[in-house]
């Protein structure tokens, strides 16, 4: 037994000495080693390390052309395959320096990204390379991100988490600016504006303004307002937050909803003229410009189930600037004249975009999209009919839609011509009726005047 205990003690002390030597040799090597190591763990002190995901994305996308093991995924049905490197080691170069990345996974599955660099490149790595990697990773994430279409839940369903405020579906709308029929000059102007906005990070920072932009889309029904919002989202790869004002009880709920939206998004208030009926309420209560609920209910004084215009404006000008960046806000309306000037004054909405009835130019682009047609003898008739008839692009599109998936050019164009002629005769009849009514009113006025003079 004594011998056993003695052997155990000798073994223990040998192990201790060995580990001491190991530690000493590690330090010795580290001291003389020209390499430095920086670790990025997935979790740091039980909290998510926000640098981890973008770096992993960056490394994943890095050198896919050279890597031998690849992983493929398709994040959106409409998009192509995304290829990623599926190897644990990557070598990277940046401004003439060379670094090495290695992924390590611990026993419970948490990952750490180990960056090894030469001691002399330490400054450049810590000051600019890491920042560059994170930014690049974020922009790759944004490009591949699945777009979402959010709608607000009724406030009675809200829980304590931010996610309970909104429900969403994947956004897979095919709309794009190429197929959107409108004046080409106006379209180009909008595209330039959107491009300047999305690349304007430094500019907005320089001028000290929040990175946001407001668009007011107005025009009759079926002229492409909603389609344009979808096209904007597809162009910029932004998610859409479609705000249903009728489901919100008051300003603080609106504030809560809006602060829970994410960056790179379009916040949409559709048919703002229906949600906003300022005139009636304002007469009653000058100081508080109310937005009426869609159902026309004002609610009793205690239970104010309404959002005020000032609440909305505060958000656009004030709170908005403080919370979040890179957001587009869009209002749509069928009746520009009905909106309060405070809402649409310049500076609040950066761009007013009118979407109007179909012009012949717009028709030509629809004909190209729907029928693959550049010209046709019937175009002349259509052009002259369109000059004095109002028709929404949605109605033109309906006539040009392929019937039974067979392209019947003549049939479709004749359908459109008939529809235009019907509208033309209807408009003419209405004009005659209006003229008759005016004449009748004039006569009645004359009679009343004569009576007044008599008595
Ligand atoms: N300018 C356009 N170019 C191409 N297609 C259009 C255009 N305008 C309308 N359409 C077609 O008509 C349909 C309806 O258009 P959309 O919903 O965008 O109209 P809207 O202006 O939002 O109408 P509303 O005022 O009723 O909301 C769309 O699905 C689209 O296919
Ligand atoms: Mg619409």
| 55 DSSP 8-state letter | H
Rounded CA-CA distance 293/250 in Å is: 11
Q: Which ligand is nearest to the CA of 334?
A: 1
SS3 133: helix
Atom of ligand 1 lying closest to residue 220 CA: 25
Q: How many CB atoms lie within 10 A of CB 416?
A: 26
Residue from 183, 184, 224 whose mutation best tests the ligand 1 pocket (most atoms within 8 A of CB): 224
Task: Output the ligand 1 site: residues, CB below 6 A.
Answer: 179-182, 221-227, 334, 355, 393-394, 397
Which two tokens mark 430? Answer: 């209405």
Residues in contact with 227: Cβ distance below 8 Å, sequence separation at least 6, in sequence order: 175, 180
H or E stretch covering 329:
strand 327-333
pTM (2 decimals)? 0.70
Distance 224 CA to ligand 1 centre (A): 3
Protein residue with least CA distance to atom 5, ligand 1 = 180
Rounded distance from Cα 229 to ligand 2 centre (Å): 9
DSSP assignment string, 385-426 = HHHT----HHHHHHHHSPBTTB--HHHHHHHHHHHHHHHHHH
Along the 455 residues of the chain, how does pLDDT read in single tens digits? 788 888 888 877 777 776 666 666 666 656 667 888 999 988 877 777 888 889 988 988 775 555 566 666 665 555 566 666 666 788 889 999 999 999 888 887 788 999 999 989 899 999 999 999 999 998 888 777 778 899 999 888 887 766 788 998 988 888 999 989 998 899 999 999 999 999 988 898 888 888 889 999 999 999 999 999 999 999 998 999 999 888 888 888 888 888 888 888 999 999 887 765 543 343 333 333 344 433 444 444 434 447 777 777 777 776 555 666 788 999 999 988 888 888 777 677 889 999 999 999 999 999 998 888 899 999 999 999 999 899 999 999 998 886 665 678 888 999 999 999 999 999 889 888 888 888 888 878 888 888 777 76
> 414: Cβ–Cβ under 8 A, 6 or more apart, which residues?
378
Complex ipTM, two decimals? 0.98
DSSP state of 346: B
Q: Which of 227, 242, 363 to mutate to test the pocket of ligand 1 (most atoms within 8 A of CB)?
A: 227
Cα–Cα distance measured from residue 269 to residue 275, given in angstroms and rounded to the nearest whole number = 9
SS3 call for 98: strand
CA of 224 to the centre of ligand 2 (A): 7
What separation in Å is there between the alpha carbon of 339 and the centre of ligand 2? 17
Residue 164 CA to ligand 2 centre (angstroms):
26
Distance 418 CA to ligand 1 centre (A): 21
Match 């290695």 to its residue by tokens. 102
């Amino acid at each position: 037994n004594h011998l056993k205990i003695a052997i155990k003690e000798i073994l223990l002390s040998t192990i201790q000495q060995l580990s001491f030597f190991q530690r000493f040799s590690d330090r010795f090597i580290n001291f003389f080693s020209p390499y430095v190591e920086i670790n990025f763990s997935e979790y740091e002190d039980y909290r998510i390390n926000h640098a981890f995901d973008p770096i992993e994305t960056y490394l994943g996308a890095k050198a896919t052309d050279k890597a031998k093991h690849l992983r493929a995924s398709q994040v959106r049905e409409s998009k192509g395959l995304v290829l990623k490197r599926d190897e644990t080691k990557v070598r990277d170069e940046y401004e003439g320096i060379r670094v090495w990345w290695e992924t390590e996974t611990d026993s419970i599955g948490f990952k750490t990204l180990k960056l090894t660099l030469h001691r002399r490149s330490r400054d450049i790595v810590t000051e600019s390379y890491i920042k560059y990697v994170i930014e690049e990773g974020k922009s790759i994430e944004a490009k591949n991100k699945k777009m979402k279409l959010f709608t607000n839940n009724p406030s009675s369903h809200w829980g304590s988490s931010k996610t309970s405020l909104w429900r969403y579906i994947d956004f897979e709308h095919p709309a794009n600016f190429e197929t959107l029929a409108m004046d080409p000059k106006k379209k180009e102007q909008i595209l330039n504006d959107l491009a300047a906005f999305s690349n304007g990070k430094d500019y907005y920072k320089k001028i000290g303004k929040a990175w946001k932009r407001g668009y007011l889309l107005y025009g009759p029904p079926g002229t492409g307002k909603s389609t344009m919002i979808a096209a904007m989202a597809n162009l910029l790869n932004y998610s859409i937050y479609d705000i249903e004002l009728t489901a919100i009880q008051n300003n603080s709920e609106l504030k809560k909803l809006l602060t829970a939206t994410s960056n790179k998004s379009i916040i949409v208030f559709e048919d703002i003229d229906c949600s906003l009926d300022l005139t009636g309420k304002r007469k009653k209560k000058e100081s508080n410009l109310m937005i009426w609920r869609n159902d026309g209910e004002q609610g009793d004084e205690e239970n104010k189930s309404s959002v005020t215009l000032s609440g909305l404006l505060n958000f656009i000008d004030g709170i908005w600037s403080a919370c979040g960046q890179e957001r587009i806000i869009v209002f749509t309306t069928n009746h520009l004249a009905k909106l309060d000037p405070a809402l649409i004054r310049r500076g609040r909405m950066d761009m007013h975009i009118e979407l109007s009835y179909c012009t012949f130019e717009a028709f030509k682009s629809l004909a190209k999209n729907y029928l693959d047609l550049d010209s046709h003898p019937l175009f002349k008739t259509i052009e002259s009919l369109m000059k004095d008839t109002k028709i929404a692009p949605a109605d033109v599109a309906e006539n040009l839609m392929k019937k039974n998936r067979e392209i019947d050019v003549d049939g479709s164009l004749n359908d459109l011509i008939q529809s235009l002629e019907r509208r033309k005769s209807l408009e003419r009849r209405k004009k005659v009726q209006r003229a008759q009514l005016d004449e009748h009113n004039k006569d009645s006025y004359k009679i009343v005047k004569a009576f007044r003079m008599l008595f």
